[in-house]
Amino acid sequence: MNNLIDSHFHLLELKKRGIEPQNLLQELDGQDFAGGMDIGVSEDDIDERLSLTAPYPRIRCAAGIGPWGAQGDEPIEPMVSRFAHRLEGNMVDSIGEIGLDYHWNYGTPERQKELFRRQMALADTRSIPIVIHSRSADWDMIEELKRAPLPRGGILHCFSSSWELAKTALDRGLHISFAGPITYRKNDELRAILARIPLDRLLLETDSPYLSPEPYRGKINTPFTMREIYQKAAEVTGTSVEALAEQLIKNFDRLVPIHRHESHESPAVDQQNAKEVD
C-alpha cells in the first residue's frame, strides 16, 4: 500500500459487513498507506467517522446526503439546514457524496436536484470541494455542472458514464476518479475514457465495500485492493505504477489538503484556467 491513495471508501459500510474500521486503519497505516477519504452517506454519521479518522491525518473525511436522501416527502431545505447545523464545529474536508441517481428512482428528479444544489451551495459556503455521485443521470448532471459555481472543485467519483459527462467535469475543473470496474473484462469503453483523462486530473478509489476489482469480484471490497486498480490504471494510461502513484498523491493533496490538523484553508480551483479537453 506504499504511496497508494484511495480517494473514496466507506468505513461505516465496511463495519456493517464485519470489518472493524479501527483495525483496518491501523493495518493501512502500518503499510505506509498514502491516505484517502472516508465518505459519508447520511446526515447523521459525521461524529462517529470523524472520531475514527482523527488519529490519521492523511485520511480525509467527507460528509453529505446522497440522492437517496430525496426519498419521502420531507422538505429538502430543512433537511439540508439540519445537516449544515451538524457540520458546525466539525472540520470535514469535503461535502459528499452528493449528486443524482436515476437508476434507483430515489424520490423524484426534482427533489434530487434540489438536494444536490443546496449541498453544493453549502460546500461553497465552507470553501471545500464536493464528491459527486452520478448514476444514469448523465444529461441532468451535465446541466447541473454547467450551472454550478464549483469554486473549490471536487471529484466525480466511481466514474462509469459517458465521455460527454467526463469532458464537462474536466472543463469545470473537477477531478475524475475510477474504481474497480476498470479491471472488468468487458469494460473496454470505460478504459478508453480513462485513457483520455489528463493525469493531473485523475484519481483512483475502491468505493469499499463495493465494486471489488478482479480477481476479487463478489467479495467485500477494502482499500487493500487498490494495488489491482493502480496496476490496471497504469497499464491503460501507459505509465508505471510508481509514477502514477506519485502523480495521484499530488492531485489528491492539492484538491483536499491536510487541514484538520494544520490549516483550515484550501486553495481555490482557478475556473478561468480549467483545462479544456477535446
Angle at CA 178, nearest 5°, toward 180 and 167? 150
- The pLDDT tens digits of the residues spanning 177-196 come to 999 999 999 999 999 999 99
What's this model's pTM, rounded to 2 decimal places?
A: 0.92
* pLDDT score for 258: 82
DSSP per-residue codes, 17-47: TT--HHHHHHHHHHTTB-EEEE---STT-HH
**CA–CA dist 60, 255 (Å, integer):** 11
Backbone angles phi, psi at 35, to 5 degrees: 120, -175
Q: How many CA atoms lie within 13 A of 227 on its CB side?
A: 8
* pLDDT score for 267: 38
- For residue 178, the tally of other CB atoms under 10 A from its CB is 28
**CA–CA dist 195, 192 (Å, integer):** 5
- The pLDDT tens digits of the residues spanning 78-134 come to 999 999 999 998 889 999 999 999 999 899 999 999 999 999 999 999 999 999 999
**CA–CA dist 265, 247 (Å, integer):** 22
- The pLDDT tens digits of the residues spanning 221-269 come to 999 999 999 999 999 999 999 999 999 999 999 999 986 545 433 334 4
Angle at CA 120, nearest 5°, toward 5 and 147? 110
Map out the domains of the chain as residue ranges.
5-262
Residues 6+ apart with CB under 8 A from 184: 213, 214, 217
Q: Any idea which fold 5-262 has?
A: TIM Barrel (3.20.20)
